[in-house]
Amino acid sequence: QEQKRISDIFSMSPEGQSITVYGWVRSVRESKQVAFIELNDGSCFDSLQVVVDRAVISQLPQGLRTGASLRAAGILAESPGGKQPIELQAKEIILIGESPEDYPLQKKRHSFEFLRQIAHLRPRTNTFGAVMRVRNTLAQEIHSFFNERGFMYVHSPIITTSDAEGAGAMFRVSAEAEGAENPEFFGKPAYLTVSGQLEAEIYAQAFGRVYTFGPTFRAENSNTTRHLSEFWMVEPEMAFCELEGDMQLAEDFIKALLRAALDKNHRDMAFFDQWISRGIIEQLEKVANASFEHITYTEAISKLENAGKKFEYEPHWGMDIQTEHERYLAEELVGGPVIVTDYPRDIKAFYMKQNPDGKTVRAMDVLVPRLGEIIGGSQREDDYDKLLARIKELGMDADNYWWYLELRKYGSTPHAGFGLGFDRMVQYVTGMQNIRDVIPFPRTPGNADF
């Protein structure tokens, strides 16, 4: 008797094969002679119908209820009901872990707020199961995408002493156990990284094309549906590359990720399309097959000014584009992803390459409907003197960036890269409203429980 996962079973034609499966009970329904058990093992969206004689069930101890874990063995047959193509006619059921009546996930719809409070059980729900399978597909696709294009995967550090964005939104790291004797464990103040970019630049200056993919941390007090204190970021960096090449990579990358989810997670995507965000499959198909629009910041602002729409924040040149503006640009003006370039230098990070106009930098953000910014990137300042002047101008401590400056001294190259917020990408693909519901254990202001 072969042990099978349910995803394998659904791809078989039922010819009375003897098999064994393991999983968790989603529901039990009893008729006069038989019981129907919906069994799910997480391998795919759908549950397997297990049909078993009530006589077999009655020999089991109490606790064969929703939430229980079990082993079922029997033969595969066509399902006469027709609701599913295949069922397991079980000869033997072994209850592995019983489930008392107070199991919190009964067969009904629970609110996402409620599910967040039971982060240890929500992976067993339809929605979260589908989210996690899509998240996995996207994560795997990131590695194949870059691997196929000759990018090296670099592990950038989590603990750092430099503020990569110069934005002062870092979590301090201190050594509790050593506290009394050695409060400064690393000899100077250390923090959780906000971005692996600066280290990625170091490696791009040796390997040409690299990417990082790991957790990053922001101590911003942003309680929104698209901000996390701990989120995952993908950061490619390319030497001998300018802003145009960077934008092309960003577009190809987003499209490859959409393609992967659409092709590899049909059933999960059909669920999102039906229950979470109507029409999302068609919407993403369109994006995956069309070119992204490009627009400069200056053009974007004037379009917003002339939109004849009342925004919470009045648009004007020099301001940071707000989420409401980003969404308006992507949803109303373009009707799809849009890449905004050449932002004012004063609202962007110190490392971006300055344009000859002296006012703007070679920045690019990719904005998408529903979310706004999903990617932030730029061509980097590769001129030693200009970079040093900018660091000083901003009142940053140049000594902290000595190595970053030296990269501009020894074999400097035009180079560019970007950061994709991975969790926002999962939100974009699944249509999920809240970023807290696309990551296993969301960290937000006031919440870092299990």
Whether 365 contacts 387, CB under 8 Å: no
Q: Within a 13 Å sphere around the CA of 291, how many CA atoms are in the beta-carbon half?
A: 5
| Sheet strands side by side (includes 159-160) | 159-160, 190-192, 172-173
CB of 343 to Mg ion, least distance (A): 9
CA 40-42-46 angle, 5° bins: 55
Q: How would DSSP label each residue in 38-54?
A: EEE-SSSSSPEEEEEEH
Is position 227 an interface residue for ligand 4AD (rule: CB under 6 A)?
yes
Is position 442 an interface residue for Mg ion (rule: CB under 5 A)?
no
Residue 195 interaction partner, one of Mg ion, ligand 4AD, none, beta carbon < 5-8 Å per kind: ligand 4AD
Scanning 76-84, 223-231, 256-264, 311-319 for contacts with ligand 4AD by CB under 6 A, the matching segment is 223-231
Which residue has the closest beta carbon to Mg ion?
376
Contacts of 177 (CB under 8 A, 6+ apart): none
Scanning 109-117, 151-159, 192-200, 371-379 for contacts with Mg ion by CB under 5 A, the matching segment is 371-379
Residue 401 interaction partner, one of Mg ion, ligand 4AD, none, beta carbon < 5-8 Å per kind: none
Is position 74 an interface residue for ligand 4AD (rule: CB under 6 A)?
no
**Contacts (CB under 6 A) with ligand 4AD, residues 408-447:** 417-419, 421, 423-424
Name the residue nearer to Mg ion (CB basis): 408 or 424.
424
Query: What does the alpha-carbon distance between residue 95 and residue 15 come to, in Å, rounded to a whole number?
Result: 26
**What is residue 90's three-state secondary structure?**
strand
Q: Figure out which of the listed residues 191, 231, 343, 401 binds ligand 4AD, where binding follows CB under 6 A.
A: 231
**What is residue 416's three-state secondary structure?**
strand
Is position 376 an interface residue for Mg ion (rule: CB under 5 A)?
yes
Contacts of 34 (CB under 8 A, 6+ apart): 51, 52, 53, 54
Secondary structure (H, E, C), 173-212:
ECCCCCCCCCCCCCCCCEEECCCCHHHHHHHHHHHCEEEE
CB of 305 to ligand 4AD, least distance (A): 24
CB of 164 to ligand 4AD, least distance (A): 6
Name the residue nearer to ligand 4AD (CB basis): 42 or 214.
214
**What is residue 11's three-state secondary structure?**
coil
Is position 374 an interface residue for ligand 4AD (rule: CB under 6 A)?
yes
Please give the residue ranges that form the binding site for ligand 4AD (CB under 6 A): 164-165, 195, 197, 218, 220, 227-228, 231, 233, 235, 373-378, 417-419, 421, 423-424
Please give the residue ranges that form the binding site for Mg ion (CB under 5 A): 376
